[in-house]
Each structure stands twice: as structure tokens, then as C-alpha cells.
Amino acid sequence: MDQHWVTDVVLPRSRADLAGIVDTDGVLAGGTSLMSEPNPGMTRLVDLTTLRWPDLVVSEGGLEIAATCAIDTLIHADLPRTWIATTLFEAAARALLASYKIWYTATVGGNVCLALPAGAMTAMCAALDARLLVWRADGTDALLTTSEVVIGNAVNSLAVGDVLRSIHLPIAALTQRVSLRKASYAHLGRSGAVVVARSDGDSVVVTVTAATVVPEVVTVASVDPDEVARAVLDHIPTDHFHTDAHGTAAWRIGVVEYLVAQASRDVIA
């Protein structure tokens, strides 16, 4: 969609060029959301792609993903074979209500910053114990969990001028078994519930998104799938499940219990 009210575009080359961002600026990464609807209050674009951050950096500690990394780039990256949890990248992307063509433009960081309950990259980041590096407007850095950034339905904790720089996935999570299970009212509809289970020794780490407004991450010290499912539901308050066009709270509670048991069984077996 054309943004006729935009009168200026900033092409930053360094962090210093990001100073002075105001609430009428649109911070652009992939732009798939920013350009999908009118933004009459937006008068300037700040294009993060000109900072030329490396999409992916592999290190002994894990994987650093630039906020501007396209989802398709992440999915098709050549990464260490021992990082078996990377199967989650495509599984999460397929839970996104978007054509695969959108993957070429939509970014990992942009999807997280949108803070939608069904955000596919939000589910992936929360499930793999991601740490998000935020460049604060005052020049400081903050290293946050996914749940500290995504704090409500389409609400994130970033202040005006804050920029998500990168996402770090630790090697401990990348080398563990994972399984994603999802459910929706329609076969190709937006996910009404997304559950990711990750095996962590004698425990299972379960992440619930889409069914809840914010990511819910629960670690259960059990290898019994049904016990894990009951523990997850006991941990998440019923009022954290929401109702919208993609599912009622009651339906989501029932579906999540089933999905948790199934995903847990996948990683425990």
C-alpha cells in the first residue's frame, strides 16, 4: 500500500544515525506489515536494511540472527547438522498465515516486534530460549527474553527510538529435540494455538503461543506426556487464554492440552 504521507526516508549507516527517531517514524525492516495498511500518522521511514547487518552469525555459543534477516534466509541457511532444533525454523514459518513468497521479505525481528499472538518467529524465539539485543534510544543495550519484549496483543515493550538489533539462540537449545504442533479453525487459517515442546534432559520445555496473548514458557520435570500437559495447563491461568475470530478461550484450552501431550511425546520418544 502506498504511504502518501511519508515525506522523508532515512538511510542509516551506523547506530549513531538512528538517533532522533520519533513516534511518527516508521522503522522499516521487511515492511510486509508496515506497507499492508495505511499509516496516516507516519511521516518518515527509517530503513534498517542499509545498516547491512550480517543475516546470520554462527559461533561456538550459538546463532545470532539479525533483526533484518528474512525468514526465508533463516529457513534455508546452511547450519551445523548437530543443531537439530533448526527444523523449528520452517515449522514455525509454516504456522504463519502468509504465503511462502512473504518469507522472502518478512523479517525475523519484524515478526517478533509486531507482537501478534500467532507470531511465528515469536514462537520460535520463545521456544529456543532466545535473548533479544535491543539498542535503547539512550545509547545503552538491553538483553531481553522474548516474553519481556512481547507483552500483549500487538504490544511490545520497545520505547520510541528503541531498535531490535539481533536475536541470539544458545547452542544448548539448538542441539535439543523439538516438535511444533498447531491447530486452527480452518486448515489454512491463522493458527489458533501453537505449541512447541523441547527436550531438556529429564524435563520438557513447553512454549504456548497463539492460544495466549503472550508467550507462555513452562518447564516440566517429567517425561510423561500427559503429566506434562496437565502441568502446563495448571501453570497457565485460564484468563491468559483469549477469544477472537480464530478461536474461543475454551476451545484453545482444550486444544492446547492435546497439542502439549502430542508435542511432548514427539520429543520424549
Please give the pLDDT value at position 33. 67
CATH-assigned architecture of domain 56-173: 2-Layer Sandwich (3.30)
Domain ranges of the chain: 8-51, 56-173, 176-268
Domains 56-173 and 176-268 in one fold: no
CB atoms within 10 A of CB 17: 14
Residue type, position 256, single letter: V
pLDDT at 191 over 90: no
Please give the pLDDT value at position 17. 93
Percent of the chain with pLDDT over 70: 92
Mean pLDDT of 44-59: 94
Tell me yes or no: is domain 176-268 CATH 3.40.50.410: no
Mean pLDDT of 164-183: 97
pLDDT at 45 over 90: no
Please give the pLDDT value at position 228. 97
pLDDT at 227 over 90: yes
